[in-house]
Structure 1
Amino acid sequence: MQNGTDSRSARRTKQLFKTALMHLLETESFAYISVKDIVETANYNRKTFYNHYYDKFDLLDDVTKDLLEGMAIAVKDSFKHYQKTPRMSMIASEITLFDYVYLHRNIIYICKSTGLEKNITQICAQTIYNALIEAWTPLVDMPEQQLASYTKIFTNSLVGTIHWWIDEKFASPPEQIRAEFVSFYNHAL
């Protein structure tokens, strides 16, 4: 597949296949997208595709993995400060998670609405929970079980907000979603 000497080239090629798939998903159901469609859109050949991916499902898994890794980073960046004290108000401008979700709304909406990733909500929830635990554990003076419970509740409120936003087909801008979430959190304090 790839070795140390061509890893940059391999990453670039894989990114072109991912971009091609996302572009195709904007207008076509995944079930009707073929490897031929993907390689033609990416301007590569089938042999190159199969050097990197087993099939189109493997490519979709890679796209989903990238999405979740980026989401984890956005969660950590957004909420790294909100457990330093038990009653710390959120500042809307620091919450970048909703911008990340909005930027990737096409693939998120497609995965959820078409059932490509049947448990995308649970996978996102677990990703958010793990990222929050990782960010907050070194910052808090709280029993582990209490932190876990608080993080589950916080995660569910985030996932619920994102899930609702997906269901409304991202009609509201991220600034509005962020302001509503921060207002709710700060009011709950």
Structure 2
Amino acid sequence: MSNTPLDIVGLCGSLRSASYNRMALELAGSVMPAGMALEIADWRDVPVLDGDVLAQGLPPAVAALRERVRRADGVVFAIPEYNYSIPGGIKNLIDWLSRGDDQPFANKPVAILTASQGPLGGARVQYDLRKVLLFMNAATLVKPEVFIGSAQTKFDAQGRCTDETTRKFVGAQMEAFARWIAAVRRMQAA
């Protein structure tokens, strides 16, 4: 790796400030190996996808986030599972970002982690998100998968992870993600 840190964008599927997925995303940033830096993107200003609005051009919030994802070396999604699938808000964001032939997820290294108060840790949403990312030709990390079940027992009131096993799993995924980014770059250069 070069001396320039890998620039990673975090996309949290929950806008709630005390979201367990935001806590998981912040944990991922804190356990990334040296040479990686995470910035969690704010997407609150992204409107509902509307063809009439799109006909007028990309809204500024969408255009800015598209460029931020495009510039990033990788993207980490942390999303909750709503009704066995992808929350509407983050799916709307993905749909906006994917408009046009120059959509920024093509060949972009992506990692996914999920947190849930239930025992499965958001497993079902990961598989639906993987299908969407596959269609967009994203380079999604396959393993290790991270499902943080019973998240309410693994983070304290300040959002810090109190569970060493969870910390290790997320750290291992971020180490694998750094290697994956390097592998994707090699494949693209070949």
Q: TM-score range by the shorter chain?
A: 0.3 to 0.5
Normalising by the residue count of structure 2, what TM-score does the alignment of the two structures yield?
0.32
Q: Larger helix proportion, structure 1 or 2?
A: 1
Normalising by the residue count of structure 1, what TM-score does the alignment of the two structures yield?
0.32
Q: Larger strand proportion, structure 1 or 2?
A: 2
Larger of the two Rg values belongs to structure: 1
